[in-house]
A and B are shown apart, each in its own frame.
Chain A
Amino acid sequence: MGRTAGIWPYVCLAPALALFLLLEILPALGTSVFSLTDYTGLPNVPIHWVGLDNYTGLFAAQQTFLLRALAVTAIFSLLVTVLQNGFAVLIAWLLNSRIRGQLAVRSLIFLPVVLGATVNGLTWYVMFNPLQGPVTLLLQHFGIRANLLGAPSTALYAVIWVQIWANLGFSMMVFLAGMQSIDAEIYEAGRIDGTSPWSAFRHLTIPLLAPSITINVLLAIIGTITGFELIFVLTDGGPALASQTLGMWVFNTAFFTSVSRLPGFASAIAMVQFAIVFVIAIVMQSYLRRREAVL
């Protein structure tokens, strides 16, 4: 082996790296190039270099839509990240104690993760149907005429609920794994010192879960800023742009109608989206890592 031994890790990495370059890096570079052109995606239509026109258009001409999409994305991301992780940590805490049927509960909560965005979206699409949906019929018993996905005032919150429901199981599992790795002796010592269960959760469990919190928070933020599948199935970004996040706007601008089918411009939105995710991910990661070290 001798002199060539060091090459083997790279050789083994090469196939995966080649695929990654081909399927991730090249399309990403392509998007950044398209964002500088008037690419329409239509066959045989010449592509022109437009420099930063798409970006100036985005920040000036399309400012109203950009600000609205940013606001919707911020609400979506913030509420999902906070609520999903809040519920997940509480459920994990409950399931970490020796209660009966915990395996069944854990499996049920994890089930939506296995089903995927399309099935989850369609399930709730039917549940929220304003004419015969079970949720609508239930609310009718309380005198409420619900049109949850059809009304601009409720559509985004209905989508947030489904997003949390769909991903709660994954966050819960990460927290549960984190909790199960905490040494039982720490709790034992706390109990000797007279800590209550809540106090143990607040002052022992949460600090020791810091690495799990970092992972879950980062994944939730990145997932909500870039994701669009669930919104696509549930609302298409509507009604009246009420649930149009940046990701949804990229899709609608790139593919939706022959009037708004502007993949070049959509690429510019995608690049802005990438920049936002990149900055937030770096800032959050560095903050959470520092917090982990302090705790």
Chain B
Amino acid sequence: MTLSRRRLLGTFGLGAGAVVLAACGQSQSATTPAATSAPAAAAPPAAGGAGPVTISVISWNSGSSSEAFQNAIGQINSLFKQKQPNVTINFELLGQGATWTQAQTSRIASQTTDISANYGFAPQDIINFQPDTQFLDLSGLSALKNFDQTSIQRFMTWKGKVWQMTLAYVGHIVWTNQDMLDKYNLKSPTTYAEWTAMCETLKSNGETPILYAAKPSTALTRYTSLLEMNVGRPKHPSFWSDLLVTGKADFTTPEWIDTFRRAKEFLTKEFDPAFSGIDYPTSASQFATGKYAMWPEGSFSGGDIMAAKPTFQKLGAFNAAFADDAGANAIQPVYGDLSWSGLRYSKNADAVQQWLDFFGQKENFQTFMQVLQYYPTQQVQLTGPVPQAEAPLLTKTAVSQTRLALPGMTYDNQWSELLLSDQYTPESYAAYVQKNLDDSRPQWQKYIGMFDADWAKLYFG
């Protein structure tokens, strides 16, 4: 009897252990987006460089062009396989937004990826990822000579070394349904007065001038980036470098109040009144219906518009014109987009560098960018309606405010409380933003000093 009870207890113990282990196993597999490739980075190094090696590459989904993205990567990988038959690239798309950031964090923390997609460096990325301690130094890659120097300085460099390969950057522009503009003999505006007059003409003909989709409100960053670049920045060009280098910023100055006022005024008069409820992921399709004349948005959406098969014939674009001065409106706000970073812990660092170098070769780069149609960081000629519309707008660029806030700066950097509600005037909103920035200072003050004037000179140009 005693023996059987012991056995029973033992069985219970084993059972409990098994349940706990099973639960742990389930929990792990539930949070790992693609279990098949998880062990890739943990694979042993290739013996003598000739054994089989599997490299894990992860990236975010890029909206409706995800399929094209995956195909383009597949094409590059096939070519790479011909050159390096022992290396297999395991590429995965791991979602968007918060899903992506969580998946990326989990994969890097568990050391189960060799190469990760990132944005081109903004201060927040340098703080969050500490590239000089986590990423492989890519300064020696021969492919770097193909990239333009401004992009290398702005988006790939930290502490004098290159830590990631930025393939593309984003610009904020205004997409146009050129058929509709031609119908009313409207030309791209260069000043605010011209733009509002253009909108009035459209409205008097029963058209809706501007599409905007501000659900979720993070999508407002394109709009605010344009306003800040056109209206506020020319009067205070060093605003952001002052904030990042010295920690000093004043949002209550007349130029900021003017920026806020114009943002609210234009949106109230010219946007589709339902803009705050229009789902952002549907916006390219909405624009493709041809019901709207213009769409202030990222350059990256050109491919999405074309993928949605627009009902109009000709796609156009212009640089936003929120300022009275045409010169100020000619500067396009940009920030670094898709970049590849090799993880320092990778046991296959050589293969990682070989793949990145291969990717950065002009012909491979061109193949990839022709599919995605983003702004390339190499001087390559892309063809099609999207680059054709965008190319004339890229004469002057400056770093957008979109990704310049430091971790912990919990002020409303999308201006959503100004733009989506009526509780603030431009003046009271400026005071509110300033208060929130100052209140959150204990959370970000520790980063002041990390970026010096030399860095700001290189970054902002």
Contact = CB atoms under 8 A, between A and B. Distances in A.
Interface of A: 4, 11-12, 14-15, 18-19, 22-23, 40-45, 53, 57, 60-65, 125, 128-131, 145, 147-153, 235-236, 238-242, 255-262, 265
B206 interface: no
A256 to B, nearest CB: 6
Interface in B167-223: 214-218
Size bracket, chain B contacts: 35 or more
A62 B440 contact: yes
Contact of B102 (A12, A14, A255): A255
B101 A241 contact: no
9 contacts: A40-B128, A42-B129, A43-B108, A44-B133, A63-B439, A130-B274, A238-B420, A258-B124, A258-B407
Interface string B412-427: 0100110111000000
Interface string B261-283: 00000000000011111110000
B5 interface: yes
Contacts of A242: 421
Contacts of A43: 105, 108-109, 134
A258 B442 contact: no
Query: Which 3 pairs between the two chains have the least Cβ-Cβ distance?
Result: A150-B277, A150-B276, A130-B277
B225 to A, nearest CB: 15
Contacts of B215: 149-150, 235, 238-239
Given A4-B5, A239-B421, A65 B410 contact: yes
A64 B416 CA distance: 16
A148 B277 CA distance: 8
Interface string B214-239: 11111000000000000000000000
A150 B234 CA distance: 33
Contacts of B214: 150, 239
B28 interface: no
Contacts of B16: 14-15, 18
Given A147-B276, A239-B420, A258-B128, A22 B20 contact: yes
Nearest to B129: A42
Nearest to B24: A22
Given A65-B410, A255-B98, A259-B409, A240 B440 contact: no
Contacts of B443: 57, 61, 262, 265
Nearest to B274: A130
A41 B105 contact: yes
Interface in B49-92: none
B109 A151 contact: no
Contacts of B458: none
B364 to A, nearest CB: 29
B146 interface: no
Nearest to A258: B124
B406 interface: yes
Contacts of A60: 439
Contact of B20 (A18, A41, A65, A125): A18
B312 interface: no
Q: Which of the listed residues B20, B214, B275, B408 has the most CB atoms from chain A within 10 Å of its own CB?
A: B408
Contacts of A259: 124, 405-410, 413
